[in-house]
Chain A
Amino acid sequence: MNRILRIVRYIVSNKLTFTFFLLGLVIFFFIVVPLGKMLISSAEEPALFWTTVLDREVAAAIWLTLYTALIATIVGFIFGIPLAYFLARHEFFGKKLVEGLINVPIVIPHTAAGIALLFVFGRSFAVGRAFGSIGISFVDSTAGIVIAMLFVSVPFLIDSAKEGFKKVDVRLERVARTLGASPWQVFTHISFPLAKQSIVAGNIMMWARGISEFGAVIILAYHPMTAPILLFQRFEAFGLDHARPIAAILIIVSVLIFVILRMLVSRR
């Protein structure tokens, strides 16, 4: 109690801190109130909530969302980490442009991203046709969901990993080389372990962003339905009351995963 009073007294005594505290409080409640209100109003109708929890279509959509986002994250890891390391360690003409282009998926409307992907992976286009010949279609398929999620969320992983690698002093790598390590050994024994925190954080961000993706996924793959699309479909077809429990479940699952992973990372 005394501690809280001390903090309050400190905040009030410093005008800058007090002003920033008030302004910060506004945005904090802006984030928390809608989420809390929805969870509370879902809890007010427990029967509908439990029916939704037990709805197979809802469970399938949530499971599909989680594992497609996970596959996208794994693919992003395999191709994104080398790029992040390359960007962190090398200077070259046009590097800023490359870095900017990598972040484009974050800033463009995700429906536009979905259309752009269709132009490459659609059935009438070269890459889509090539994959189609080996039985992989990106339209209305799990593969389509994965590439939509990958496209919009991989910049988070690349940026985070790049910053992590940049924080690893290049002289640590140089010392390791003089001690007998090959470039691969330097990467696996020094650079990667030391950047691990940022890489894991990037992976969590990418997975979380993939789970929440709607715009790009709906363009490429309306079916099979991921949770955000099912939520949209229920809202369109049955209204707010039927959409709310799905939204509540999605928020609970996402927050739980996010908190657990964050705890695991910080414990390391």
Chain B
Amino acid sequence: MIEIRSLSVELGAFTLHNICLNINRSEYFIVLGPTGAGKTVLLESIAGVQPIKTGQIWLEGEDITGMKPEERKVSIVYQDYMLFPHYSVRNNILFGLKMRGYNPQDMAISLSKVVQLLSIEQLLSRKPNTLSGGEKQKVALARAIVTNPEVLLLDEPLGALDPQTRENVGQEILKLHEELGITVLHVTHDFEEAITMGDRIAVIGEGEIKQIGTTTDIFRKPNSEFVARFTMTGNIFSGLAMKERHGKTAFNLNGTKLIADTNLEGPCHASIRPEDILISSDTIANDGDNHFMGVITRFVNKGAIINVTVNLPPPVTCLLTRRTFEEMRLSIGQQVHLTFSPSSLHLF
């Protein structure tokens, strides 16, 4: 559907280099990366409003690299909506149809369809400055899809919204994607947003793609320290991996031996997600792999979740629900037992 071949963009001191992506038709594809990673530049390059240095962009088997933005069937929605402030909501939505020369009858049909889809009938005569953030984003979405684009580019569409509105607008976007079957390329710096909305994720950093995979791949098997840190893996260690026994690898971390279900050998990184570690005040019965004792050094209160840091050494972060935390009555300096499955330990 969209194929990006070795795309490079130079923008002052910033460079986006050698971006290669294949996005399937009707896929919800996420580009995840920190601020300044080049996410918006990537979207704008696909939309044709950002000149590229080298590379090609193909859409539905057609090379659109040299095509003008108005000729590509690609719409963009920005984080801060970019509604035309001098037009009413109705005229904002109709803008694309007018520019593309639709007749009044077709315009009325298309308008009615999108306003019903997004439930914004009551906003039509209002000016953008009288709308709430969520309403603005719905209008921006309506304006973007009314021209029936083949690809919808979303630049941090939930970034400027409060948590409640984020949830609602997020659901609206997923509904649009499902009902219209439109291909969506959504960029965000929010890992949870990426995991909950995307079919596949590309992690981007320092102007290049670091990893592409399904949400599970990115979540469970980060391929670099950058991806592991960005996807909030939490526990990332450097050490030496050696073959242990059939199908198992021992990861030596300054004398502490962690067992993993892989065949990797040599110096590498290991990561384990905090939620995969079981913590107990009493001895835990298991087959002996990855069973450790340590001392609690820190609690971080995150509301429903408590992060507990246990020094084995090294320090390892585990997660507890608030209810479990209160029931266990843990305290700083207390000795606890930790265990995790070898399949949870990811070596890279």
Question: What is the total of A-B residue contacts with beta carbons within 8 Å?
Answer: 62
Q: Is B213 an interface position by the 8 A CB rule?
A: no
Q: Hey, which chain A residues are within 8 Å of B49, CB to CB?
A: 174, 177-178
Category for how many chain A residues contact B: 10 to 19
Q: Hey, which chain A residues are within 8 Å of B86, CB to CB?
A: 193-194
Tell me, in angstroms, the Cα distance from A177 to B48 when the chains sit together: 9
Contact partner, A180, options B76, B82, B85, B96, Cβ 8 Å: B96
Q: Is A182 an interface position by the 8 A CB rule?
A: yes
Q: Is A172 an interface position by the 8 A CB rule?
A: yes
Contact partner, A179, options B44, B85, B143, Cβ 8 Å: B143
Interface majority SS (helix, strand, loop, mixed), chain A: helix
Cβ of B85 and Cβ of A174 under 8 Å apart?
Answer: no
Considering only residues 126-176 of chain A, those with a C-beta below 8 Å from chain B are: 169, 171-172, 174-176
Smallest CB-CB separation from A196: which chain B residue?
B86
Smallest CB-CB separation from A175: which chain B residue?
B82
Stretch at the interface among B17-25, B67-75, B156-164, B222-230: B67-75
Q: Is B99 an interface position by the 8 A CB rule?
A: yes
A175, A177, A182, A194, most chain B CB atoms within 10 A? A175
Cβ of B70 and Cβ of A178 under 8 Å apart?
Answer: yes
User: Would you give the shortest CB distance from B34 to chain A, in whole angstroms?
Assistant: 20
Tell me, in angstroms, the Cα distance from A179 to B69 when the chains sit together: 8
Considering only residues 157-214 of chain A, those with a C-beta below 8 Å from chain B are: 169, 171-172, 174-182, 185, 189-190, 193-194
Tell me, in angstroms, the Cα distance from A179 to B49 when the chains sit together: 12
Cβ of B44 and Cβ of A182 under 8 Å apart?
Answer: no
Tell me, in angstroms, the Cα distance from A172 to B143 when the chains sit together: 13
Cβ of B99 and Cβ of A174 under 8 Å apart?
Answer: no
Tell me, in angstroms, the Cα distance from A176 to B85 when the chains sit together: 13
Q: Hey, which chain B residues are within 8 Å of A189, CB to CB?
A: 95, 99
Smallest CB-CB separation from A177: which chain B residue?
B69
Cβ of A178 and Cβ of B82 under 8 Å apart?
Answer: no
Q: A178-B69, A189-B99 are in contact. List 10 more A-B contacts (CB 8 A).
A: A174-B82, A176-B84, A177-B68, A178-B48, A179-B147, A180-B99, A180-B100, A181-B70, A190-B84, A194-B85
Contact surface of A with B, Cβ cutoff 8 Å: 169, 171-172, 174-182, 185, 189-190, 193-194
